[in-house]
Structure 1
Amino acid sequence: MPFEGPSTSLQNLSVAMMDENVEQAKSIITKWDPYATTFAKVTSLFSESRSEAQQFLKSVKDLQRAMDFFSNHHSSSHKLHQAQNLMQLAMKRLEKEFYQILSSNRDHLDPESVSARSSTSGYEGDAGSNDEIQLASESINEVEVFSTLVMSDLRSIADCMISAGYTKECIKIYKILRKSIVDEALYNLGIQRLTSSQIRKMEWEVVELKIKSWLNAVNIAVKSLFLGERIVCDNVFTSEFIRESCFSEITKGGAIHLFQFPESVAECHKSPEKIFKMLDLYDAISELWPHIDIIFSFESLSIVRSRAQNSLIKLGNTIRTMLSEFESAIQNDSSKSPVPRGGLHPRTRYVMNYLSFLTDYRGILPDIMADWRLPENTSLPESYFQNPNPNDHPSSALSVRLAWIILMLLCKLDNSANLYKDLALAYLFLANNLQYVMEKVQNSNLRYLLGKDWVSKHKVTVNQNSANYVRIGWSKVISAIPEDSTETTMSIKEVKHCFNNFNSAFDLAYKTQSSWVVTDKKLREEIKVSIAKKIMPAYQAFYGKHRSLLRTVKYMDSPVRFAPNDLGNYLSDLFYDSGASGSASTSAAAASSSS
């Protein structure tokens, strides 16, 4: 018997081990040959026996080692050819298993469900690294066990196929199935592929409905659908390169179309009335940006991040354009007719409602308006605003801009007041409109941007306008009663003359002003009280002292037409809108009976 050296013995031992690996692999691989038996064709290995599935994967790895050995040391061995054939059978089986697990577990691997379950990890999308995605995928509980096992099986199969050189076959199956799931989900969310030309041809009402649908869909698409798909992908594949390839191909197209919509809308619609929908779109993307930046962090998906950023940029530009047109509309308004009855100017309602709704977006407006300065040669009076320097803070730029718009409105109101022939009515008009401006500021987010000092200063102006109205509108009534009438002795003729003067002045003032309005209830009562304080005490004192004197003269028609209470009834009837009344019907009867 020829002598064998240590190296020869070791090589023979290795050959024997590799032969044994091939034989053991042959046993289980041929059992699950998908073309050999009906049982193997219709039955899932991983569903039938997890322990046998693990044995199958181990056998494939052992077979791979045997192939490597024979390829290096016995390349012409029939064992190498046998191992190669077995490997092909094994890969067919694993391809089938990979496909079956993916397709039969769509519900357990649904991206939205996966992302919802993973939310217990505390992932919020704002930490700025890919670690959060991994943390989200690692957080499990009893409810998640099954889907976790499914992803574990897929990962085992993927690792086995990729190490055996069947990467292309593995990821092809994954991409096709998972892309169909994502595309179907986006379709169900109402995400459509619309071009700018298609949107431009639509009626605004139709565009509004599509914006509403998009706003409802985008949050789900980003924080549930795309996040969930990223988690599944990261759990199935070990290789970062393969993860990127799969996730990019599955989600890129849908994500691009998702963020192309707001960009297209921003290009097509720029009238000021549509600004709030643009702000809704901007707000949605801005809020989701941290999530977008993390979920689509792969370099191959930079186009998705760019599309979202471009949408923000174009929406911001459109919003600034809309605000410029809004400001121009205020500046160019040249109404030539006074508002009837001294009421609210339509411009006042429109501008202040617009601004109060605008400040609901005060979280994003400073970013949009950060680099947007007031027009050249434009500045606010130093006394008008507490901090007139918009460069101090981004929110200051917003505050100054809004204060300037309101100042433009007030200047236009001053011009409108000049259209009244009756100066008292002009002041009442100013009081009405400035009160409305001030109330809108106080009852909206404008109060946070303009501050308490702004409100206090304009309240003073409202009071000044009200006082000027009372002074001018009721001056003849007030002056009809001599200031010293209760201290001096007056003849019957003088008393009668005073009463007649008062009656005429009050009749004229009431007749003239009974159709005037004060729209704010509180201001209405304040003005009435102010008028009463100017008239009632002096008239009551005069009435009390001199009415008895007139009674001493028989057969003389009494000049007294108003008892003090009657005046209160008449005053209470002033300033109501049409359909609202105080006590005019009763006050006339009261005045008649008291006479």
Structure 2
Amino acid sequence: MPRKGTSTVFFKSPSPTRMTHPSSPLHHTFSESLMEENIELADFSITKWETDVASLFSDKEEATQYLVSIKGLQKAMQYLAFHHPSSDKLGRAQILMQTAMKRLEKEFYQILKSNRAYLDPESVSAHSSSIPSVSRSSISDFEEEDFENELRDEHDSIPEVERMSLAALADLRDIAEAMISAGYVKECTKIYKTIRKSIVDEALYHIGVERGMSLQQIQKTEWEVLEVKIKTWLSAVKMAVKTLFYGERILCDQVFSISAPIMESCFTEISKEGALTLFGFPENVAKCKKTPEKMFRVLDLYEAVSNLWPEIESIFSFESTSAVRSTAVNSLINLGDAVRTMFTDFKTAIQKDSTKTTVPGGGIHPLTRYVMNYVSFLADYNGILSDIFADRPFTIPSALPESYFGSPDQEESISSPVSVRLAWLVFVMLCKLDGNAAMYKDAALSYLFLANNLQYVVGKVRQSNLNFLLGDDWVIKHEQKVKQYAANYERIGWNKVLASLPENPTAEISTDQVKDHFRKFNSAFEEAYMKQCSWVVPDPRLRDYIKISLARRIAPIYKEFYEIYGGVQARKEFWVESLVRYTPDDLGNYWSDLFYGSRSSGSVSSSSSGGGRSR
């Protein structure tokens, strides 16, 4: 039953036959009047801007009224289409809607083009949290003032450039919502896709992402040229993912927040082609010919894709962009396979090294420098290599002693997949050096060679991440071995010198025996010195260690013998001047010249100078 007083206000006294639905005819009339009013308001607003060349969205109040009038016109069209499909008013409303959509198309295009600088991905991604999520056309007249005040308060605290970016985004979202709601999806998205795809493609080009680099072209590219392209790609990929594609995803999310399917379609068409080109490059590089010198660039590519994978998975999360995710994953798989192959090839190259010449003076072998530099660089990729060799246990070949890798019971035993493999490479190289040492005809020089090279290995381990991977126990064991090699060198290289002196230098012996000892010492010392003054010990610590060790072994014995039989008190003997050539201090001076690899540093005096050196 109608409320009291209602019939007297809106209706005449109803007849008995119409009492069942007293308000129905009047309700229709009221709805029709509202719809007609909507059409009239839309006609005024749309016609007003039909030929105006100024930007509608430069005036926020006008833009809001325009969008509200379109929303009202849409309601009127829906009402008329249902209740009066043949009405002339419906045709008039449709023409107005077409006019409005053309205007919005123009505004949408202009905003996208003129605000390009404010809609760059970096700005959008940096300030995505500040973007209002409410559309202007979705608020009521009662809420409009509060909404504008809220936006004004928020924007007052934001710098001008960011404010322009947020304003452009809000306008684009309002236009997109209006056009999509009115059924103009194709017109709206065509403009958006065309403009934004050109921007993304241009940005990729400027940061160095090349299009059209097929596998065949990459395989034919010289490594030096390809390496430059890899460096360019490495500097570009982070920006492309974290800024360009991420910002574009946010932009699509905001502009087409009214429809997830439309947003997905736009983002996919804009970004998919460029993303496939971006992530297809490392996959193709991984398929090229694999040589050890390419290892580190391949590792760089793997690391870049691996580090960016969470963002890739999030940004390209749609089913329609699954090909991008698959390409990135395939890049990781192929790059990992390439690294494992090159690792094995590197080991094989060490084993097949066919260098037959010896290093002058027993210095550092080129193989030692190359391998240790290579392995120490590999140690810097420990985390990446751990991923690549995960679930691929390494079995120590039977030829390798388990003690080399440490006891399983020891805390510092080498057990990680990366540590074991790197220790294995070093061991293979050391075995090769043993063979190179055998090429020296002088046994003392071969041991000096081994001491030098192992000292270089230990030094490289200590100065790099290998120290962490191989552990202190490994370093201590090999330092001890260096000392063993040095001791063998001293024993063989200076045994004749030491043997020329009496076992007990203070014991009383005959003059003939004294003469014999001095003759033998002079001969042995001069022979050892002249032979070894061209030998080298590059490491200063090892060089000092050997010199001190030599002095401790020989100098005290010679000093005692000299002081009794060759010193001042013995100078009265005529033979002393000719046979006692060196004072104890002379020995230290001569030893100080050793291991620099130059015979010109000094020469042993052959004259009876009573001690000292001739220069």
TM-score scaled by structure 2?
0.87
- Look up the equivalent residue of 1:212 and give its one-letter code: K
How far apart are residue 148 of structure 1 and its match? 1.1
Q: 2:554 aligns with which of 525, 535, 542?
A: 535
How far apart are residue 380 of structure 1 and its match? 4.1
Summarize the alignment of residues 41-60 of structure 1 with structure 2, pairs less than 5 Å apart: 42-47=53-58, 49-60=59-70
Who is 1:291 aligned against? 311
In structure 2, distance between residues paired with 1:207 and 1:360: 23
Q: 2:471 aligns with which of 425, 447, 451?
A: 451
Who is 2:481 aligned against? 461
1:384-433: CA deviation from partner (whole Å, max 9, x where unpaired): 123669xx999701111111111111111112222222211111111111
Summarize the alignment of residues 420-431 of structure 1 with structure 2, pairs less than 5 Å apart: 420-431=440-451
Who is 1:318 aligned against? 338
Summarize the alignment of residues 373-412 of structure 1 with structure 2, pairs less than 5 Å apart: 373-374=393-394, 377-378=397-398, 380-386=400-406, 396-412=416-432
- Look up the equivalent residue of 2:64 and give its one-letter code: Q
How far apart are residue 374 of structure 1 and its match? 3.9
How far apart are residue 114 of structure 1 and its match? 2.0
1:432-459: CA deviation from partner (whole Å, max 9, x where unpaired): 1111111111111111110000000101
Who is 1:97 aligned against? 107
- Look up the equivalent residue of 1:507 and give its one-letter code: E
Who is 1:176 aligned against? 194
Q: 1:7 aligns with which of 13, 24, 39?
A: 24
How far apart are residue 557 of structure 1 and its match? 4.6
Who is 2:363 aligned against? 343
Summarize the alignment of residues 434-449 of structure 1 with structure 2, pairs less than 5 Å apart: 434-449=454-469
> Are the aligned partners of 1:199 and 1:264 in contact in 2 as well (CA < 8 Å)?
yes
> Are the aligned partners of 1:388 and 1:400 in contact in 2 as well (CA < 8 Å)?
no
Pair 1:69 & 2:79 matched: yes
How far apart are residue 73 of structure 1 and its match? 1.0
Q: Give the direction of change, closer, same or farther, for the CA distance of 1:393–1:56 in structure 2 (3 Å limit).
A: farther
Pair 1:108 & 2:118 matched: yes
Q: Give the direction of change, closer, same or farther, for the CA distance of 1:520–1:414 in structure 2 (3 Å limit).
A: same
Who is 1:124 aligned against? none
Matched residue SS, 1:43:
coil
Bigger shift: residues 393-402 or 60-69 = 393-402
In structure 2, distance between residues paired with 1:554 and 1:231: 102
> Are the aligned partners of 1:387 and 1:396 in contact in 2 as well (CA < 8 Å)?
no
In structure 2, distance between residues paired with 1:458 and 1:258: 46
> Are the aligned partners of 1:563 and 1:591 in contact in 2 as well (CA < 8 Å)?
no
How far apart are residue 584 of structure 1 and its match? 2.0
Q: 2:35 aligns with which of 18, 22, 25?
A: 18
Matched residue SS, 1:192:
coil
Who is 1:508 aligned against? 527
Q: Give the direction of change, closer, same or farther, for the CA distance of 1:498–1:541 in structure 2 (3 Å limit).
A: same
Bigger shift: residues 570-579 or 247-256 = 570-579
How far apart are residue 525 of structure 1 and its match? 0.9
1:262-306: CA deviation from partner (whole Å, max 9, x where unpaired): 111111131111111111111111111111111111111111111
How far apart are residue 358 of structure 1 and its match? 1.1
1:485-531: CA deviation from partner (whole Å, max 9, x where unpaired): 21x21222221211111101101111111111112111011011111
> Are the aligned partners of 1:536 and 1:567 in contact in 2 as well (CA < 8 Å)?
yes
Q: Give the direction of change, closer, same or farther, for the CA distance of 1:166–1:393 in structure 2 (3 Å limit).
A: farther
> Are the aligned partners of 1:550 and 1:558 in contact in 2 as well (CA < 8 Å)?
no
Who is 1:142 aligned against? 158
Who is 1:281 aligned against? 301
Matched residue SS, 2:287:
helix
How far apart are residue 222 of structure 1 and its match? 0.7
- Look up the equivalent residue of 1:295 and give its one-letter code: I
> Are the aligned partners of 1:211 and 1:277 in contact in 2 as well (CA < 8 Å)?
yes
Q: Give the direction of change, closer, same or farther, for the CA distance of 1:155–1:113 in structure 2 (3 Å limit).
A: same
In structure 2, distance between residues paired with 1:555 and 1:427: 38
Q: Which has the larger radius of gyration?
A: 2
1:454-488: CA deviation from partner (whole Å, max 9, x where unpaired): 000101100111011111110111121112121x2
> Are the aligned partners of 2:124 and 2:251 in contact in 1 as well (CA < 8 Å)?
yes
In structure 1, distance between residues paired with 2:607 and 2:466: 47
Percent identity among equivalent residues? Answer: 57
Matched residue SS, 2:416:
helix
Bigger shift: residues 96-105 or 367-376 = 367-376
In structure 1, distance between residues paired with 2:558 and 2:576: 21
Pair 1:81 & 2:91 matched: yes
Who is 1:200 aligned against? 219
TM-score scaled by structure 1?
0.90
> Are the aligned partners of 1:434 and 1:458 in contact in 2 as well (CA < 8 Å)?
yes
How far apart are residue 376 of structure 1 and its match? 8.1
Summarize the alignment of residues 208-357 of structure 1 with structure 2, pairs less than 5 Å apart: 208-238=227-257, 239-357=259-377
In structure 2, distance between residues paired with 1:527 and 1:116: 62
Q: Give the direction of change, closer, same or farther, for the CA distance of 1:498–1:394 in structure 2 (3 Å limit).
A: closer
1:23-78: CA deviation from partner (whole Å, max 9, x where unpaired): 11100011111xxx3xx1x211001x111110110001111111111111111111
- Look up the equivalent residue of 1:156 and give its one-letter code: D
Q: 2:491 aligns with which of 461, 466, 471?
A: 471
- Look up the equivalent residue of 2:158 and give its one-letter code: E
In structure 2, distance between residues paired with 1:241 and 1:306: 21
> Are the aligned partners of 2:571 and 2:577 in contact in 1 as well (CA < 8 Å)?
no
Who is 2:6 aligned against? none
- Look up the equivalent residue of 1:44 and give its one-letter code: S
Who is 1:153 aligned against? 171
Matched residue SS, 2:403:
coil
Q: 2:45 aligns with which of 28, 43, 66?
A: 28
Bigger shift: residues 409-418 or 112-121 = 112-121
Pair 1:490 & 2:509 matched: yes
Summarize the alignment of residues 508-587 of structure 1 with structure 2, pairs less than 5 Å apart: 508-547=527-566, 548=568, 550-554=570-574, 557-578=577-598, 584=602
In structure 2, distance between residues paired with 1:279 and 1:514: 45
> Are the aligned partners of 2:292 and 2:343 in contact in 1 as well (CA < 8 Å)?
yes
- Look up the equivalent residue of 1:142 and give its one-letter code: I
In structure 2, distance between residues paired with 1:274 and 1:592: 62
Bigger shift: residues 4-13 or 290-299 = 4-13
Matched residue SS, 1:516:
coil
> Are the aligned partners of 2:577 and 2:609 in contact in 1 as well (CA < 8 Å)?
no
* Count of residues in Structure 1 that have an aligned counterpart in Structure 2: 565
> What is the alpha-carbon root mean square deviation over aligned residues?
2.4
> Are the aligned partners of 2:577 and 2:608 in contact in 1 as well (CA < 8 Å)?
no
- Look up the equivalent residue of 1:24 and give its one-letter code: L
> Are the aligned partners of 1:275 and 1:322 in contact in 2 as well (CA < 8 Å)?
yes
- Look up the equivalent residue of 1:186 and give its one-letter code: L
- Runs of 5+ unmatched residues, structure 1: 122-138
How far apart are residue 377 of structure 1 and its match? 4.5
> Are the aligned partners of 1:441 and 1:447 in contact in 2 as well (CA < 8 Å)?
yes
In structure 1, distance between residues paired with 2:46 and 2:606: 111
How far apart are residue 2 of structure 1 and its match? 9.7
- Look up the equivalent residue of 1:12 and give its one-letter code: T
